[in-house]
Each structure stands twice: as C-alpha cells, then as structure tokens.
Amino acid sequence: MPPSASIAARIEQARARIAAAERDAGRALGSVILTVVTKTQPPEAVDAAIAAGSTVFGENRVQEAQGRWGGRPRPAELRLIGRLQSNKAGAACALFDVIETLDRDSLLTALASEAQRRGACPRLLVQINTGEEPQKAGVAPRDADALIARARAADLPVEGLMCIPPAKEAPGPHFALLARIAARNDLNVLSMGMSDDFETAVRFGATHVRLGSALFGPRDPAR
C-alpha cells in the first residue's frame, strides 16, 4: 500500500483530472462526484483518504463495510457498489445511503419490504449489464425500463443508473447506452467510469465516478 502522503497526492491528481474532463466536456466544475472505492483496503489507507478530504465512499460487500465503518466516523455518503444478496437487504438499508446495484425483482421485493418496515429506504440506482455478460450482475438493457417502472410502482426511490462496461470493449458506447436509458426514464444520476475510463465517462455524462486503484495502487491479491 502506498503511504498516506502518496494516497493524498493521488486523490488530488484524480480530482484535477476530473475537473479537466469536466472542462473539456463543457460541464460545470464540481458536477462529477468522486466515489472512493475502499474494498479490500486496510484501515490506514481508508484513514488517509478521509484525511485527504474524501467524503463519498463505495463498498462492495455489506459485511466488509460493517467492519470498516463500525469503528470510525461515517463518511458524508456511503454507497454500496457491489452485488447485493436479497437476504442482506435489511443490513444494507441500515448501513448505506445509496445502493447502486438494484438489478432483479427478488431484490426489488426485498428492498420494498424493508422500506415499508423501516419507513425509509436508501436512494437506489438500477445496475444495467450493458454488455449482457453472463458472469456480471445487472439487468439487460432491453429489460431496464420495465424494472425501473416496477421499482417506481413499489415507491422505491430510484434516482439513476450504474454500469460496468466489458473490460475488453471500448467503454464509450456502453456509457452512451446508459445515458440513453437514463434520459428516457427521466433519471439524472449516472454512476459510471472507474480508474481506467473515468474521463471517458465524464464526457458521456457521468455524475459519479468510482475510483480505487487510481487512488490506492493495484489491489493486493492476498487481501
């Protein structure tokens, strides 16, 4: 893991690159939010990101997030960016401000039931499998409108979409597809773009980019 000063420098560099991409795309500065992806990171790395002024964090697993944030002050916003099992909907609703991975009816039902029980629900993004890759989570693009409609009918607070393009394909067409689905469903939030392609995502309208290795370096396989 890089030292704290290096993490702070990488975060500052990422912010500068996001700002440059915003300018190049003719977008307002500050219109894109940096989500710091902390999965598998040790406590000192997370603390360094907080010390560098990061306020929005993304986690892949409910249990890992519970362990990480149970012993330190909560960030301004905690987002679940990994696949959510339906039987963990209650724990996710208790912990996260935003769940980015609504992608199927069983999870919709679990979240709606939990929202009714709690009288509240985290803001939601529908995850779209833009490449229709069988190994990835996400609803197929052709089925997205119907899932969004069912979520709205259940009074769930869907505010946007999320995607992870196929690793071996140009990301631009996938980001453009996500933006089209969002536009026809009157959704304004687009979580798209990671360490290797976030500047492209900004050009296609991303409101949130999810960066991990660009801030912390390559992930340690042992973790």
pLDDT in tens, 25-35: 999 999 999 99
Of 202, 175, 179, 205, nearest in space to 21 by CA: 202
**Alpha-carbon span 184 to 15, nearest angstrom:** 30
**Alpha-carbon span 51 to 153, nearest angstrom:** 41
Quick check: 219 pLDDT over 90? no
pLDDT of the residue at 184: 98
Give me the mean pLDDT over the 105-134 stretch.
Answer: 97
Quick check: 57 pLDDT over 80? yes
**Alpha-carbon span 122 to 141, nearest angstrom:** 23
pLDDT-derived band at 71, boundaries 50, 70, 90: confident
Mean pLDDT of the chain: 94
pLDDT of the residue at 74: 85
pLDDT-derived band at 70, boundaries 50, 70, 90: confident
The structure tokens listed for 56 are: 């929005």
Rounded to a whole number of angstroms, the CA Rg of the chain reads: 17
Give me the mean pLDDT over the 135-159 stretch.
Answer: 97
pLDDT-derived band at 138, boundaries 50, 70, 90: very high
Q: Who's near 159: CB < 8 A, 6+ residues apart?
A: 123, 124, 125, 187, 188, 189
pLDDT of the residue at 174: 98
Give me the mean pLDDT over the 206-214 stretch.
Answer: 97
The structure tokens listed for 67 are: 């362990």
pLDDT of the residue at 221: 54
C-beta of residue 161 within 8 angstroms of C-beta of residue 178: yes
pLDDT of the residue at 150: 98
Distance of CA 200 to the CA centre of its chain: 16
Q: Which residue has the tokens 């071996």?
A: 168
**Alpha-carbon span 129 to 109, nearest angstrom:** 20
pLDDT of the residue at 80: 98
Give me the mean pLDDT over the 12-28 stretch.
Answer: 97
Question: Which tens digits make up the pLDDT trace of 85-113?
Answer: 999 999 999 999 999 999 999 999 999 99
C-beta of residue 17 within 8 angstroms of C-beta of residue 33: no
Quick check: 20 pLDDT over 70? yes
What are the φ and ψ backbone dihedral angles of 78, each rounded to 5 degrees? -120, 125
Torsion of CA 31, 180, 154, 59, to 10 degrees: -50
User: What pTM was computed for the model?
Assistant: 0.94
- Three-state DSSP class for residue 99: strand
Name the DSSP letter for residue 157: -
pLDDT of the residue at 220: 61
